Amino acid sequence: MNQINRLKQIYTLLLKKSCSYNDIIVFFKKQKYAIGIRQLQRDFKELPMLLEHDENLIKYRNSENNIHFKIIKVKAKAPKKNVPMNHNITHSNFFNLLSVDLMQINLTILQEAIIESKNILIKELKNDVTGDNHTFSQKSIELLPLKIIKHRGSIYLGGFNIKENKNQVFDILQLNKIQKKDRKSIYNLEEINDNFNTEMSNRFGISKNIDGETYIILLEFSLVTGNFIKEHFWHESQKFTKKKNTIIMELNCGINRELIGWIFYWMYNCKIVAPDILKEYYLKSHNEIGKLYKEDTPLVYKNIFT
């Protein structure tokens, strides 16, 4: 087998899944073709010439410290400045990630796990983004991965925590030292997916709710702000009615940190009409902010919604 044919087969293989040197050696061995690591290393130096303009060859070490390779499709990076593109359309880059390298590596592993029907083991979980790690747990977590969710400039993994029997959502940049793991049990995936979809439809955004309840939420907006809001999608339950010189927004969902933060976004152009529990959380958040300026209160991370 000549080099160009080898390169074409390696290219096709890495488009489908990530592989180590040994994986590729076994792949060729099944074709009764022997190849050594040194030859593969030379081949990998030439492999980039086969890549399309929107493809990258990534190299990373898995949780067992073995070198793996994968060819991934990448979107063109948004310009760092407001450079005209597509007939004077510019991109603000607001809320976009500054670095996508780790995101792409984790995304590849997670997509493969979902496609290959495997679980994932998260050996280190960093920070708290959605409220699903508010205790800053460092213990290993095994998840049945269900969905990749793009939300507000970031990418999240939605999955089912097998040991704790609950749905969880994490920013994929929270996940460190992750690896695919064979499933030892048979799961009712249809039921698990249905339960996950139901829970996510009850969340405003992707943050964890304060409880398992849904509430009829009524928000009153000034007319100008309300007209802007009703032209955008925020939640599948949203409804709008006009009341004299204001707009009433109705939602049927849970209460979480993301909802309160979104209401704060509109500052003095928004008023909570109902329910009372939402008003209480809003005022409690407002009071916590006020303490930072009225008292000698240290600035530390807290999540009052758990």
125-127-132-138 Cα dihedral, nearest 10 degrees:
40
Q: Which of 18-27, 70-79, 144-153 has the lowest mean pLDDT?
A: 70-79
Pair 120, 105: CB distance under 8 Å:
no
Segment 34-60, tens digit of pLDDT: 998 888 888 888 888 888 878 888 887
Mean pLDDT calculated for residue range 268-281: 97
Best-predicted range by mean pLDDT among 37-41, 105-109, 143-147, 248-252? 248-252
Average pLDDT of the residues in 84-96: 74
Q: Band the pLDDT of 135: cuts 50, 70, 90.
A: low
pLDDT digits (tens, 9 = 90+) for 193-214: 999 999 999 999 999 999 999 9
Task: Quote the CA–CA distance of 237 and 204 in Å, as a whole number.
Answer: 10
Helix axes of 3-16 and 21-29: crossing angle, nearest 10 degrees: 120
Condensed to tens digits (0 to 9), the pLDDT of residues 169-187 reads 999 988 888 899 998 888 8
pTM, full prediction: 0.69
Residue 260: pLDDT band (50, 70, 90) is very high
**Residue-level pLDDT at 177:** 84
Q: Residues 6 or more apart from 62 whose CB is under 8 A from it?
A: 68, 109, 179
pLDDT of residue 221: 98
Q: Is the pLDDT of residue 33 over 70?
A: yes
- Mean pLDDT of all residues in 64-73: 82
User: What is the per-residue pLDDT for 3?
Assistant: 81
Does 144 score more than 60 pLDDT? yes
Q: What is the pLDDT averaged over residues 112-128?
A: 87
In whole numbers, what is the pLDDT of the chain averaged over residues?
87
Tokens representing 249 are: 């927004």
81 pLDDT tier (thresholds 50, 70, 90):
low
Token pair belonging to 147: 């969905």
Give the per-residue pLDDT at 248.
Answer: 97
- Is residue 97 pLDDT above 90, yes or no? no
Q: Which residue has the higher pLDDT, 243 or 60?
A: 243
CATH number listed for the domain at residues 3-73: 1.10.10
pLDDT at position 84, please?
53
- The answer to whether 69 touches 58, Cβ cutoff 8 Å, is yes
- pLDDT band of residue 132 (cuts 50, 70, 90) is confident
Model confidence at 85: pLDDT above 60: no
User: What's the pLDDT score for residue 100?
Assistant: 77
pLDDT of residue 78: 54
Instruction: Examine the pLDDT at 79 and tell me if it is beyond 80.
Output: no
More confident call, 250 vs 71? 250
